[in-house]
Structure 1
Amino acid sequence: MNIYLYWLIQLSWGLLINLAGLLIAAVLVCRGNKPKRFHHAVYFEFGEKWGGVNFGGFFFVQKNAHHRLKSHEYGHSFQNLLLGPMMPFAVNIPSAVRYHYRKYQLSKGHTLKPYDDFWCEGWATRLGEKHCK
């Protein structure tokens, strides 16, 4: 996909999530964090051992994040291109709830299913792999 088309759709159909991402990015820049580019997306690294989160064309990951994590978060940006204003309800909120529930289950010693078993997470991983080739 062309970078101009990517950002045109992100900032029109996918504007809702991107506004949140832009706000978080602005706060991080003011705190001295430097933005980086991952294919068409803008991302920031900070913190340790927490994973990542996507807000459209912007994503945020732990320091020294593995390529697989960045690719996965980038995959969420393509979900935003497809889902637009439905993204928060179809992916972001369910994913966040699941993340915290898994963290709780781990604290209780429970065994967890693979992360990508949840439909939107597996989809994001596949999209990221497809668009990172």
Structure 2
Amino acid sequence: MGMAYSLGFPRGFKYVRASTIDEALKLLSEYGGDAKVLAGGMSLMPMLKLRMTEVKYLVDILGINELRYVRVDGNYLRIGALTTHGDIAMNKLVNEYAKILSESAWHIADIQVRNLGTIGGSIAHADPAANYYPA
């Protein structure tokens, strides 16, 4: 029963919410390799529940709005790490300058995941269910 009971429940960790980029960087520097960043959690939380990864500290950055953007900067289309799959799917700039990203985002999971999951999390965890690399 011990093994079956533990599956689906991550090991204990300390949850910390950062409200600025500087605060997040300070926390990550302080906790080092014992910390992971959490935003939408669509890639990380299943890994924690299945105990595919462990963490002592979760640093939540979801409230740092300056990391959620799509903008053109010279010859570059810049997409912030906290930009959701739904934002990417529906953004006019993404559709105009990188249509394949927009089309890819429409095929990620369901609407709940698209509205919570972020491009940063998908890339950071190389999530095969939300893989932007080929696009």
**Same fold per TM (> 0.5)?**
no
Q: TM-score, normalised by structure 1?
A: 0.26
Greater helix proportion: 1
